[in-house]
Structure 1
Amino acid sequence: MGVKSVNEMVAEAKTRIDNISPAEAHRRATEEGALIVDIRDVRELQRDGAIPGSMHTPRGMLEFWVSPDSPYTKQEFLEDREFILCCAGGARSALSADTMQDMGVQRVSHVETGFGGWRADGMPVTDYDTFRSRAEHRTQPSLLSKQPHD
């Protein structure tokens, strides 16, 4: 048996998750309090900008930030709300939304066309420095008291 292609994995994931448009993601975030979670690499945010009000979560840390028993748990992921994942084109976010569902997250979806579709549809975008400045002012509980475990 050969290695399953990432395209096959993404296609399978999309059959199990909620695939939404940028406009629907924007509506859910502004009207229903959903949190848009941008899983792109920080260099992509620096180069292309970010969605105002979104939370940046590096793809490599997603499961650790979501898991309630991880030393890296982020309070935002413990909230009772919908999480809308977004990557550049919709592949990483589809796989990630599927993984979050496997972890037991009840309300998770993804922007099917990714940040590229978000921008093409004329949705709001901010530059990285403004995004980072606003994110730093967001009230978040300190995790400094938690010690990472190997």
Structure 2
Amino acid sequence: MQKPTLRHGFKQLLAEANAVIEIVSIQDLLYLMDAPDVVLVDVREQVERGLDGGIPGSVHAPRGMLEFQADPESPAYNDALDPEKRLVLYCASGGRSALAAKTLIDMGFSDVSSLAGGFQAWKAAEEK
């Protein structure tokens, strides 16, 4: 049996996201973390954050609820997701945060980026 072909599979969606978002390296993140206008956003699921922890100072907005938490008209609005600030999103390895960053840009956020390598890259850099 042949697998169905999607018009827009995950590889194409990631390529489209990466074409319009900024990717932040771990080295660059170290300079950004203390800036008052930067918000680090963990888009992983609660179970991942509970098991592995998070990057210090990050806020949690799971990807499944991101649109609701980012919209001031939503009852689930999270005011930490301030469209006037620079948002740096991360997930486990960078894919979900890239898609999430594109979603926020599509919603009207202007300064959103994704952490290259995500939490795994953070942990690897922390161990050095």
Task: Specify if TM > 0.5.
Answer: yes
Q: TM-score, normalised by structure 1?
A: 0.76
Return the match for 1:117 from 102, 121, 127: 121
**Stretches of structure 2 lacking an aligned partner (at least 5 in a row):** none
**Partner Cα separation in structure 2 for residue 21 and residue 45 of structure 1:** 21
Deviations 1:37-74 (A, max 9, x none): 00111111122221110001111110001112112111
**Partner Cα separation in structure 2 for residue 93 and residue 72 of structure 1:** 20
Note closer, same or farther for the CA distance 1:79–1:17 as it changes in structure 2 (3 Å cut): closer
**Partner Cα separation in structure 2 for residue 32 and residue 19 of structure 1:** 20
**Partner Cα separation in structure 2 for residue 117 and residue 22 of structure 1:** 7
SS class of match (1:40)? coil
2:16 match: 12
SS class of match (1:95)? helix
Deviations 1:57-111 (A, max 9, x none): 1111100011121121111123521010000010000000000000000111010
**Partner Cα separation in structure 2 for residue 12 and residue 71 of structure 1:** 30
- Provide runs of 4+ in structure 1 moved above 2 Å: none
| Conserved 8 A contact 1:64-1:73 | yes
Whether 1:93 aligns to 2:97 is yes
SS class of match (1:37)? strand
Return the match for 2:46 from 19, 35, 42: 42
| Conserved 8 A contact 1:68-1:78 | no
Alpha carbon RMSD of aligned pairs, Å? 1.7
1:23 match: 27
Structure 1 stretch 75-84 or stretch 50-59: which is displaced more? 75-84
SS class of match (1:11)? helix
**Partner Cα separation in structure 1 for residue 15 and residue 30 of structure 2:** 24
